[in-house]
Amino acid sequence: GAVVSQHPSRVICKSGTSVKIECRSLDFQATTMFWYRQFPKQSLMLMATSNEGSKATYEQGVEKDKFLINHASLTLSTLTVTSAHPEDSSFYICSASAQIAGGRPDTQYFGPGTRLTVL
């Protein structure tokens, strides 16, 4: 149980295009979903936190108009990188949090990540 998927796993796009990344909890309902970004040789940095049906809460320094987050249901959150530029190239990872039977409270389950390359 507690599987989180991301799609696509890898995307290469031209500068100026928008890219949508999906994060799904496959076998549980996620009360909260998180989006992280990891640049090479750096740690995961939390970008934003979203609860189903409400606006996302963005971390300091993350532009909410550039990184659009939609959390339409308890199993799906999307991150759209608008007008992507080469400096947005990174590894984007989502996680989902819920109380799973037999699991620790508030545990985050990570998706496999999406590698974005902007040319």
- Closer of 1 and 16 to another protein (Cβ): 1
Number of residues that bind another protein (CB under 8 A): 27
Nearer to another protein by Cβ, of 16 and 103: the residue is: 103
Q: Considering only residues 44, 62, 76, 100, which one is a binding residue for another protein as defined by CB under 8 A? A: 44
B/e letters for 95-113, b = 16+ CB within 10 Å, e = fewer, are bbbbeeeeeeeeebbbbeb
State the nearest-atom distance from the C-beta of 107 to another protein, in Å: 8
Burial level of 91, CB count in 10 A (0-12/13-18/19+)? middle
Let me know: does 108 contact 99? Beta carbons within 8 Å.
no
Least separation in angstroms between residue 63's CB and another protein is 17
Q: Which of 7, 13, 46, 89 binds another protein (CB under 8 A)?
A: 46
Amino acid found at 53: G
